[in-house]
Structure 1
Amino acid sequence: MVHRARVRVGPGPRAGGGDVTAAELVSRLTRRSRSNFYYAFLVLPRPRREALYAVYAFCRTVDDIADLGPERGASPAAMRAALDGWRREVARCYAGDGAPEHPIAQSLRAAVQRYPIPRDVLEAIIDGVAMDVDGATFETAEDLYPYCYRVASAVGLASIEIFGYTDPRAREYAVSLGIALQLTNILRDVGVDARAGRVYLPQADLRDCGVTAEDLRAGRYTPGFVAVMERHAARARDYFLRARAAYPRADARSLVAAEIMGRIYHALLREIEARRFRVLDQRVVVPAPRKAAIALRCWAAARVPGAARLARVAL
């Protein structure tokens, strides 16, 4: 999942005075931070945008549970219980009787009633957050990919059902693009995550390059660190290429929001590489004007014959 512009909405699915709707939550998140999602949301018709708001708000709310931790008074058991509460809310979204309790879950139910969002992809998102709660580490890149699938590709698989598509390759596109986005997130947030006690970089890579978790927490920028990041960036590039190979051009119009996200994140990856992975003490971002330009080019490429070359400029 794409992190980390947080808006606290509570650790579990309960209704009440402190809760916000999906639209309110996403509006606060995206408008305040001009996040990468903001530019993708802009191009969607209102019904699809509201459904995507519900999915995104669900993802952010569940993702926040992993950030509670003992320092905020939540034990691992309490966080798992909160995730179980969201599993029940997802079940209610698909049940014929009994409405979800949380306002965001209610919005999610409306989305799954309107669009064929598979239940298993929403449950996979919760499973991914549970891995964070359990403090999962990953020995190899192959071990990392299932986590990326759960927290990012599953979001993409839910999203394409809202966007609409005719070519079944759209699912392969969503899976590969989700992994590419999450691998890029890991590059961007490696320092922040390490200081929060999370290391997503494969342990085998760290050992091979002589880098420790303490080095990451302390922000030690060394040749070994650069070597680890180069390996990881190469994997992200590979998944961007896989997504490009699977991209169903017949569905260009409906998938334009996904393309905007992918190209903004590809630009972020290139920016991180251009700075030689100096991410331990600073957050690398794509400037807002560049994001807007990418969004415009993708929109034009999906609608104007011969404009596809404009979108390539954004890469």
Structure 2
Amino acid sequence: MDRDHHKQFGHKQFGVSRRSKVNYQWLVLIGSMRSLMSVLPSTARLQARFTTSRATNFYYSFLFLPREKRRAIESVYAFARRGDDVADGDLRPDEAAREIARYRDALDGCYSGRADGHSSAPEISALAETVQRYKIPRRYFDDLILGLEMDLGGARYPTFDDLAVYCYRVAGAIGLISIEVFGYRHPETREYAVSLGTALQLVNILRDLQSDARRGRVYLPQEDLERFGVRPEDLLAGRSTDAFIELMQFECDRARLYFDRARQALPAEERRSMVAAEIMAATYWRLLGAIRQRNYNVFGTRVRLARPLKFWIALSVYLAVYLGRDWRGRD
């Protein structure tokens, strides 16, 4: 059913007439490069952050934001990372639950003006400024925390509908928060954010199957495992069988479907404001392709992209967006 739905999606092109607008394209290119150089950090600082960033797939996207928005979105991801550390840590369930309660209390402080009480956590003060400046709805953060709580008791999802709820909470909600910072006018952009967030989360799930299984978490829907004859023990043992490959093909097609949905939902007028999100999309699209190139064997060495490639993807998408082109071309 998902595959049939996937086939119905067309690929909207945002081309520019080559003959009539060549000069215009070069003007945009020059202007874009000047804009880029104005927002990039110094070389030394950039190198340090390349080597120390814990979320480099997102970091390369943030490079192209104006300084104020970049700081705001970094505060959001720092807060989300703090929650991830609790959910993915080695704490006992009761300890993790208490930490999540403190995490929620810190969020209360951001929205009530009590963030100064958390001065030992600079990301809380930064987030408080962000949510007030950009008027980010509290419910998006509440949804994120609910998603983190879903991880505390392990992960088992009978159906994809169940998994979709989790994907929305831990990734779609972050997308909705992010577009409030980026700025948008069309309500369809919210659908874009949720679909793209789901696509990114599905890619993360696919490339971390074995490490998640070691934590007692199996995110793939049980209905899918049963359909293809793959057991959770196979994921833990890293068995790349024919049945597993068929399962992965199916799951990759589903992830691609959500990339397509995001692509269709994004109004052309919003592409420039969403350039950071589009860079994220292109990076994870490339990761999805890397999974396919490995014949879906995600066991052993983690599927990842080299840093120079990630920077090149970011630069290419940035220029494509400002030249009115579709970074995915005619795939």
Whether TM-score is above 0.5 comes out as yes
Give ranges in structure 1 of 5+ residues lacking alignment.
1-23
Cα distance in 1, alignment partners of residues 105 and 144 from structure 2: 14
Deviation at 1:225, TM superposition (A): 1.1
Letter in 2 for 1:142: D
Equivalent residues of 2:208, 2:298 under 8 A apart: yes
Q: Residue 105 of structure 2 corresponds to which residue in structure 1? A: 88
Aligned to 2:322: 303
Deviation at 1:195, TM superposition (A): 1.5
Which residue identity is paired with 1:89? A
Show the 5 A alignment for 1:113-132. 113-132=132-151
- Write out per-residue CA displacement over residues 238-275 of structure 1, whole angstroms, 9 at most, x where no aligned residue: 10010001012111221100000001101111110121
Answer whether contact 1:31 1:38 (CA < 8 A) is retained: no
- String of CA shifts for 1:29-80, please: whole Å, max 9, x gaps: 87446721121010011110111111000011101101223xxxx2101101
Cα gap change, 1:98 to 1:197, in 2 (>3 Å): closer
Match for residue 252 of structure 1 among 244, 251, 271: 271
Q: Say whether the 8 Å CA contact 1:100–1:109 is kept in structure 2.
A: no
User: Does residue 64 of structure 2 align to residue 36 of structure 1?
Assistant: no
Any stretches of 5+ residues in structure 2 without a counterpart? 1-44
Choose which of 104, 107, 116 in structure 2 pairs with 1:99.
116
1:280-300: CA deviations, max 9, x gaps?
112112233332222122211
Q: CA deviation at 1:124?
A: 1.1
Q: What is aligned with 2:328?
A: 312
Aligned-partner residue type, residue 73 of structure 2: L
More divergent stretch after superposition (248-257 vs 150-159): 248-257
> How much does 1:226 deviate?
1.1
Identity of aligned residues (%): 47
Does residue 139 in structure 1 map to residue 158 in structure 2? yes
Could you tell me which amino acid in structure 2 is paired with residue 128 of structure 1?
G
Computing the radius of gyration from Cα coordinates, the structure with the larger value is 2
Structure-2 change in CA distance of 1:313 and 1:31 (3 Å)? farther
RCO higher in structure (CA 8 A, sep ≥6): 2
Correspondence list, 1:12-23, <5 A = none
Aligned-residue Cα RMSD (Å) equals 2.0
Q: Which residue of 2 aligns with 1:58?
A: 79
Contact 1:66–1:132 under 8 Å retained in 2: yes
Change (3 A) 1:247 1:187: same
Paired residue type of 1:254: S
Contact 1:263 1:314 in 2 (8 A): no
TM-score if structure 2 supplies the norm length?
0.81
Alignment of 1:138-217 (within 5 A): 138-217=157-236
Question: Who is 1:233 aligned against?
Answer: 252
**Contact kept in structure 1, 2:106 and 2:115, CA below 8 Å:** no
Is it true that 1:286 corresponds to 2:305 in the alignment?
A: yes
Change (3 A) 1:41 1:100: farther
Contact 1:180 1:236 survives alignment (8 Å): yes
1:107-138 deviation digits (Å, cap 9, x = unpaired): 11011111121111111111111100021310
Asked whether the 8 Å contact 1:267–1:314 carries over to 2, the reply is no
Report SS of the residue matched to 1:312: coil
- 1:93/1:100 contact within 8 Å kept: no
Pick closer, same or farther for the CA change 1:174–1:98 going to 2, 3 Å. Answer: closer
Cα 1:52/1:140, change in 2 over 3 Å: same
Pair 218,264 (structure 1): closer, same or farther in 2 beyond 3 Å: same
> Take 1:136 and 1:187, find their aligned partners in 2: how far apart are those partners?
14
Q: How many residues align?
A: 283
Contact kept in structure 2, 1:121 and 1:157, CA below 8 Å:
yes
